[in-house]
A and B are shown apart, each in its own frame.
Chain A
Amino acid sequence: MTKHLIIAEVQDGKLHNSTLTTLGAASKIEGPITALIMGASSNEAATVLKDYAAKTIFVNSSALNDRLAQPYAKVIAEVATQEGATHVWHGATVAGKDIMPRVAARLDAGMASDIQEVIDGSTFKRPMWAGNIIGTVEVTSPIKVITVRPTEFDKAVGGVGGELVEANIDAGDSSMRFVSFDAVKSDRPALGDARVVISGGRGLKGPEGFKEIVEPLADKLSAAIGASRAVCDAGWVPNDWQVGQTGKVVAPELYIAVGLSGAIQHVAGMKGSKCIVAINTDEEAPIFQVADYGIVADAFKAVPELLEKI
């Protein structure tokens, strides 16, 4: 019998949106849902989470404050075994990708990464080759570990009002130690949650291009800012802004791509957007093949004009 275990992600004390879309994905397969939340600063998030699962297990341990893969995998695998979970889920965020393969190895389970569709209780669709190909995979092991592409499923509705139980589980010995976190500070909405994303590429010529061209438009539209790999590598903007196969996956209502060519690796992270606008001087740029609306123009002229007319 199917039994789901959903691993919650907490960021700055708050439940991460990807946990809600992961719950949404799991609900496609019938079976009771238990949620697991960890870390001594997760009290508030735990009370939110219990509205989405029949049972929420809270491991209130300061040893789990930092999301280190080794202790996390141990605790998750132990809870999965105790609960008799058949499906263990996490959002396909950096943390989910880091931790869950360890959980799979510990449970001797197969794992489907970054799924975008649930076919049945053991079959899933997932992007491969930077989204050029969609693979259908069957996970044949009794326990299945799954990470969920955050953009492809609706958030669970909540209103369950399930029970919240605290559990004490030893995090074990670890060879890993947290040292520091250098946060990218921003007042803008998170890339994964924003209704509008404006992304810049090498066509913006330098960090000033982002400041002078992209930021004012982002301010006006309350948009998040994304970027191509090329400009992250060049240090113009934080790495955390990279959209693509190996960066973040976004699917906002409006995605405006400015001065980026639209390499397949970039497109892999944004083609699910509802409406895509491309501004590029080169009419042959591949970004125009995925854009709903294209403007062949110099970004330094077109974007200020857009700002003015919106």
Chain B
Amino acid sequence: MKILCTVKRVTDYEAKIRLKSDGSDIETDGVNMIMNPFDEIGVEEALKIKESKGGEVVVMSIGSDDSIQQIRSAMAMGADRGILVRAEADMDSNTIAKIIGKVVTEESPDLVLMGKQAIDGDSNQAAQMLAENLGWGQATYAYKVKIEGEEATVTREADGGLETIAVKLPAVITTDLRLNEPRYASLPGIMKAKRKPLATKTLDELGVTPTNYVVMKGLEEPPAKAAGQILPDIATLVEKLKSEAKVL
């Protein structure tokens, strides 16, 4: 079984994100960069499937050379090889999905595992767009994945409960938080990752022209909330909820 995982380089989820003083972009000075947590869960799931069924795990990222760090992290966890698609500018999800689609055509994986959303843009789009472009089925927000023969049975985190669906392979699956607990890379794993194959491609080589259907016009910080009050006791709280906030 061949599995393609996508990994995006994003700001650390623990970082406090602010704008640069000129407001042009977010301040990344001193902000740690990580693999999108949902993608890490995807890599873990791929490795688990490989451990039980055999096969290969390929990871790809789209971005600048900096993203090699995230590809190497995935390879240190155990992925077999990496692909960096070099692209500098901001890209909309349509473009990201097209790029991944080209790599899928080259690699013919049985399964593509992606994160449900990138925690920087919070778009939650690329995987579904990819599945539609390929004419494949999808199982988003996976809580449990079982591969049997030509089908994946996936339990999904839906509104109001857990939904189980079956999808024919090849398919696109996106991960939710509770699918698994990603492993830590071991020291030998990290050493090995340095020697694992890493291919680099450009948009020209893949034949993708960015669409720019979604253009970022500006960023702002949300208005700060007025400071709240620390109250001495419950009696005061009940009084305030009744007479000041008028919510009781």
**Chain A residues with CB below 8 A from B6, complex form:** none
B143 touches A136 (CB 8 A): no
A134 touches B219 (CB 8 A): yes
B247 touches A93 (CB 8 A): no
Partner of B238, one of A114, A130, A309: A309
**Chain A residues with CB below 8 A from B19, complex form:** 133
B214 touches A175 (CB 8 A): no
The distance from the CB of B202 to the nearest CB of chain A, in whole angstroms, is 23
Is residue A265 contacting chain B, with contact meaning CB distance below 8 A? yes
Partner of B162, one of A99, A101, A239: A239
B165 touches A178 (CB 8 A): yes
**Chain B residues with CB below 8 A from A63, complex form:** none
* Most chain A CB within a 10 A radius of its CB, from B16, B123, B128, B220: B128
Interface residues on B, range: 35 or more
The distance from the CB of B185 to the nearest CB of chain A, in whole angstroms, is 22
Instruction: Flag the segment in B43-51, B89-97, B103-111 that touches A.
Output: B89-97
B167 touches A112 (CB 8 A): no
Instruction: Flag the segment in A24-32, A81-89, A121-129, A155-163 that touches B.
Output: A121-129
Partner of A128, one of B121, B153, B230, B233: B121
**Chain B residues with CB below 8 A from A102, complex form:** 128-129, 131-132, 138
A101 touches B132 (CB 8 A): yes
Is residue A167 contacting chain B, with contact meaning CB distance below 8 A? no
- Give the residues from 143 to 194 in chain B that come closer than 8 angstroms, CB to CB, to chain A: 143, 153, 157-168, 171, 176-178
Mostly, the A contact residues are mixed
**Chain B residues with CB below 8 A from A294, complex form:** 228-231
Is residue A19 contacting chain B, with contact meaning CB distance below 8 A? no
- Give the residues from 216 to 240 in chain A that come closer than 8 angstroms, CB to CB, to chain B: 229, 232-233, 238-240
Q: What are 14 of the A-B contact pairs (CB < 8 Å)?
A: A94-B157, A94-B159, A97-B124, A97-B140, A98-B128, A102-B128, A102-B129, A129-B122, A130-B119, A136-B220, A175-B136, A175-B167, A290-B228, A293-B231
Task: Give 16 new A-B contacts, CB below 8 A, not counting A101-B129, A175-B171, A292-B228.
Answer: A70-B131, A73-B132, A98-B128, A98-B141, A101-B132, A103-B132, A104-B129, A105-B130, A113-B125, A128-B122, A141-B213, A179-B164, A181-B161, A246-B119, A274-B247, A293-B245
Chain B interface (Cβ within 8 Å of chain A)?
A: 11, 13, 16-19, 26, 92-94, 97, 116-117, 119-133, 136-141, 143, 153, 157-168, 171, 176-178, 211-222, 225, 228-231, 233-235, 237-238, 240-241, 245, 247-248
Closest 6 CB pairs of A and B: A110-B213, A175-B137, A101-B128, A105-B132, A175-B168, A102-B132
